[in-house]
């Protein structure tokens, strides 16, 4: 049996732009994607910390160092420039794989800069 587990999280990213006419997706700075192990076109759940809205889409890379978080397509109705979002990805693991798994999590500060990469406190508490 496999269970779905948090793989990665970018916490409190600030939306820098929106493109309603783009096909869809969320554009994320390549450095942020690498920091949490997100792949191009990987499915993500986006939780809008500002409004409470949630939506699923896929990640596409923005230039490294751009600090871009761009909401594209229909999802622009769910997030605006300046809103803070949480971007999460998940993976399916066996119980054995789960015991070794640690989600990659980064907290962002001003200008979408990483202020603290770390494993989830909740994950650590459950495992001990």
Q: Give me the active site residues, please.
A: 25, 58
Q: How far apart are alpha carbons 57 and 42 in whole angstroms?
A: 8
* Residue/partner pairs of 63-66 with CB below 8 Å, 24 or more apart: 63/29, 63/30, 64/29, 64/30, 64/31, 65/29, 65/31, 66/29
């Amino acid at each position: 049996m496999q269970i779905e587990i948090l793989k990665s999280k970018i916490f409190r990213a600030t939306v820098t732009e929106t493109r309603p006419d783009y096909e869809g997706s969320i554009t994320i700075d390549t450095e942020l994607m690498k920091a949490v192990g997100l792949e191009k076109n990987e499915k993500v759940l986006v939780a809008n910390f500002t409004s409470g809205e949630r939506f699923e889409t896929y990640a596409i890379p923005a230039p490294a160092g751009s600090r871009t978080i761009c909401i594209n397509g229909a999802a622009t109705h769910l997030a605006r420039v300046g809103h803070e979002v949480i971007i999460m990805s998940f993976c399916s693991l066996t119980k054995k794989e789960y015991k070794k798994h640690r989600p990659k999590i980064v907290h962002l500060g001003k200008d979408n800069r990483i202020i603290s990469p770390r494993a989830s406190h909740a994950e650590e508490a459950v495992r001990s």
